[in-house]
Structure 1
Amino acid sequence: MAVHFLHTSDWHLGQFFHHHEREYEHTEFLNWLLTQIKSKQPNALLIAGDIFDVVNPASSAQKQLYQFLTDAHVLAPHMQTLMIAGNHDSGYRIEQVEPFLDRFNAKAVGVIGKTAEQKLDLDKLLVPIYDSAQNIVAWCLTLPYLRSAEITGLNEHSSDNQSAVAYLHQQLIAEAKARKQPDQALILMSHAHMQGGETSDSERPIVVGNEEALSTALFDEVIDYVALGHLHKPQQVGQPHIRYSGSPIPLSFSELNYKHQVLEVRIDPLQADAQRFQYESLLIPRTVELLRIRCELSELITELNKLPKDEIAEVCARHFLEIEYISDAPPPIDLRQQIEQALPANRYRLLRIARRFQNCENSNVQQSKIDLEPPTPEKLFLDLWEKMGYQPDPEVSQDFLQLLAEAQQELDQNKA
């Protein structure tokens, strides 16, 4: 029996981009996704983490998710929605609404559970996927973002992060093998940074001990498909069946050329290798563009005059624009006024104006800019570290991020 599912991740509901909310863009994406669900009627929708942008999301972001789940269940009552927590999510928070999720054929796995005997709760992590006749067509091995405090110290095989991650994968895959029937597929859903994955500048670093990126060697060959979350660029890692779906909208200017998509996957375990696995990229329409103008200062106004001029009534639907101009000489005092006058009215949201200095002696480009986004805890720490006279140290930075993740975990547990 074949299993048919959609793979998506990294929605980051509630994100603010240079202080601008993205609710309109997320609503357009979710409406598009509902259209796909209605027409394709998959067995399951897999959301591989970072559902929200912060661990304490705004009520409007939570409403977006729950309204989507409600609408999706109406359009495809037999479809299961399986979600895992990412490093931006509170695993405890997304599990708290389990009674509500049950009503809409949805399930969230936020944290690694333990039994009364303090062993891994494999039943929680192994979720059957059914067809419309309630036959099990696949097992989904759900692995949320693995925090150190949750996975270390279970036994002698999990004394540190690296051994704990390996032990968890081994135990989960072994149990899945024992339950699997020949006509059932195995799908592993994980939120992790895999070795060889291409990153953007909007992904928060994931630190597991001193080894951030995980190896695809963790995945046994019996796994038919690995549905990954965390990296925002759609990509395969090593093999065609190990894939990041990517984020549905660009979350930074480094992602403006990404082809955002949802992956449609079909697996028939009884077919030969060539026909066993099929996938299609469903390209997501982009409703708000990210535009960047880079040019010499002398050409800037000319470039701005080339921009399309049709007005967009809703502010939330206007395109984002950043400007970087190259000039060794000081800019005119009224440069910002000139830029605003040249920009077409009611079409763009100007986020940033940056000056780049061309160093003629060594041909390097130096940049001077003002970034209006609020600083992250990591940036504040590193700034303070340098002000104290210390040199940048990657190990110190990783240790700080590890402590920050553990502090956030403790905060989540106290709130739960």
Structure 2
Amino acid sequence: MRLFHTSDWHLGQNLHGQDRDFEHGCFLEWLLRQLKLDQPDVLLIAGDIFDTVNPPVKAQERLYDFIVGAHEQQPSLTIVMIAGNHDSGSRIELPAPLMRRLRTHALGRVLWLDDGQLDAERLLLPLPDASGEIRAWCLALPFLRPAEVTGAQLGDNYLRGIGQVHEWLIAAANAKRTPGQALIAISHAHMAGGSVSEDSERSLIIGNAEALPASLFGTTISYVALGHLHKPQKVNGEERIRYSGSPIPLSFSEINYQHQILDVKLDGETLLSVEPKLIPRAVNLQRIGPAPLAEILLQLAELPNTDLLEDLQRQPWLEVRVRLEEPQPDLRYQVETALQGKAVRLVRIAAEYAGTGRNDGADDNATLIELDQLSPQELFSRAWQDNYGSEVDEQTLKDFAELLQDVQMEREQP
């Protein structure tokens, strides 16, 4: 059996206000070509399909046009997609009855039966090969929100609830499969030891208990397709537990990632190989600095000029990081003037202050941080420090995180 593992498409994402639809369109066209060329049996999309719980219409069109196109060119292909922490689980599942006609399974939530047991049946999906023979079973684990895995049956411990869900689902899968059929898990979670991007991954933290142990996925599982972390990586060096990463750089901290999908091959229950397929970058992200303003202006002057025949949609996104001794009121004007006629698109100017130019009592080496660089937890912690002059305690952070989850779940209701 052959699978393609992808994740974190973040359709509808914008980069400091700039639309990324062109880049996503290029990725999806490339992915369709790879599916046609290699004819895998299964495509896995491990969460964060959209960038927000209420994605723009264009982003939804991108997803559904892709699914239709994939089915038309390869009717035997099975697609499994799960909701991530950026997604609305209910929105992901809303068109599920229609998508099943296109051999696409959409799982957004875990549900519980009247007797308090996990509804494992809906999370176990058969994975047939091109001949229709079931070669594997997929354990679909969408992002598990606290309200879904805590309560009367499971108690209030979030991690314990997650562990119980994994245990019950794996037991159900082992009872269902026959010898020779592989178990494939798809999950959206932060695993312990994973490398996190600086400013593009929304924290899953509840208190300080966030990262999940790889031991949740026992050795009976042949392959674990993970989503959430944008950098492609193995978990604890295990070949069978992988993040495929995002298909495009979602922030300037991801410039140096080799964005890819993973080509997974199995023989029965045995994992044969996991090979990356590198995704062509439709638009480069370019960062200049940090450096003093005079040096920055020289570097901007050296950038290539616009070619009138060039596709403007392929011009690089540019971030400029300027190190200043004191505030520079006309900073943006100087930067934009230097960029006139240059083949780049400026999306952000970040000013870093050093020396003694600041008179607000802040650290002389402090860096200006924009609001979109801070998570809600970080903003809350800073506000607490400003108001009370002390670090926020862990229990208060946990209470805030739970309130935040409640608000996000309310926003998900279509």
Cα distance in 2 between the residues matched to 1:314 and 1:7 = 31
2:338 corresponds to which of 336, 342, 353: 342
After superposing the two structures, state which structure 1 stretch, 341-350 or 286-295, moved more: 341-350
Cα distance in 2 between the residues matched to 1:356 and 1:209 = 31
| Aligned match of 1:253 | 252
AA of the residue aligned to 1:86:
G
| 1:158/1:169 CA distance change after superposition, 3 Å | farther
After superposing the two structures, state which structure 1 stretch, 375-384 or 237-246, moved more: 375-384
List per-residue Cα deviations over 1:230-285 (Å, max 9, x = no partner).
011000011111100001111111111111110010011365xxxx3201101111
| Aligned match of 1:408 | 408
AA of the residue aligned to 2:178:
Q
| 1:391/1:265 CA distance change after superposition, 3 Å | same
Identity of aligned residues (%): 45
Cα distance in 2 between the residues matched to 1:338 and 1:365 = 24
Give 1:372 shift. Answer: 7.3
| Aligned match of 1:393 | 392
Alignment of 1:290-301 (within 5 A): 290-294=285-289, 295-301=291-297
Cα distance in 2 between the residues matched to 1:240 and 1:374 = 33
Cα distance in 2 between the residues matched to 1:348 and 1:392 = 42
Residue 188 in structure 1 maps to residue 185 in structure 2: yes
| Aligned match of 1:205 | 203
| Aligned match of 1:136 | 134
Q: Secondary structure at the match of 1:194?
A: coil
Q: Secondary structure at the match of 1:236?
A: strand
Q: Secondary structure at the match of 1:303?
A: helix
- Compute the TM-score of the two structures, normalised by the length of structure 1: 0.90
AA of the residue aligned to 2:275:
E
Q: How many residues align?
A: 403
Give 1:314 shift. Answer: 5.4
| Aligned match of 1:98 | 96
| Aligned match of 2:352 | 356
Residue 281 in structure 1 maps to residue 276 in structure 2: yes
| Aligned match of 2:214 | 216
| Aligned match of 1:232 | 230
Q: Could you tell me whether the CA contact under 8 Å between 1:129 and 1:139 is conserved in 2?
A: yes
| Aligned match of 2:359 | none
Q: Could you tell me which runs of 5 or more consecutive residues in structure 1 were left unpaired when the two chains were aligned.
A: none
Cα distance in 1 between the residues matched to 2:317 and 2:390 = 36
Q: Could you tell me whether the CA contact under 8 Å between 2:381 and 2:392 is conserved in 1?
A: no
Alignment of 1:60-209 (within 5 A): 60-153=58-151, 155=153, 158-200=155-197, 201-208=199-206
Q: Secondary structure at the match of 1:388?
A: helix
| Aligned match of 2:299 | 303
After superposing the two structures, state which structure 1 stretch, 217-226 or 316-325, moved more: 316-325
AA of the residue aligned to 1:309:
N
- Compute the TM-score of the two structures, normalised by the length of structure 2: 0.90
Q: Could you tell me whether the CA contact under 8 Å between 1:5 and 1:42 is conserved in 2?
A: yes
After superposing the two structures, state which structure 1 stretch, 400-409 or 100-109, moved more: 400-409
Q: Secondary structure at the match of 2:67?
A: helix
Cα distance in 1 between the residues matched to 2:45 and 2:332 = 42
| Aligned match of 2:323 | 326
Q: Could you tell me whether the CA contact under 8 Å between 2:385 and 2:392 is conserved in 1?
A: no
Q: Secondary structure at the match of 1:366?
A: coil
List per-residue Cα deviations over 1:305-337 (Å, max 9, x = no partner).
222223476554332111122342554x65433
| 1:158/1:267 CA distance change after superposition, 3 Å | farther
Q: Secondary structure at the match of 1:37?
A: helix
Q: Secondary structure at the match of 1:322?
A: strand
List per-residue Cα deviations over 1:201-234 (Å, max 9, x = no partner).
2111113464100000111111111100001100
Q: Could you tell me whether the CA contact under 8 Å between 2:355 and 2:365 is conserved in 1?
A: yes
Q: Secondary structure at the match of 2:388?
A: coil
Q: Could you tell me whether the CA contact under 8 Å between 2:202 and 2:375 is conserved in 1?
A: no
AA of the residue aligned to 1:98:
A
Q: Could you tell me whether the CA contact under 8 Å between 2:52 and 2:86 is conserved in 1?
A: yes
Q: Secondary structure at the match of 1:298?
A: helix
| Aligned match of 2:23 | 25
Q: Secondary structure at the match of 1:89?
A: coil
After superposing the two structures, state which structure 1 stretch, 348-357 or 94-103, moved more: 348-357
Cα distance in 2 between the residues matched to 1:247 and 1:61 = 16
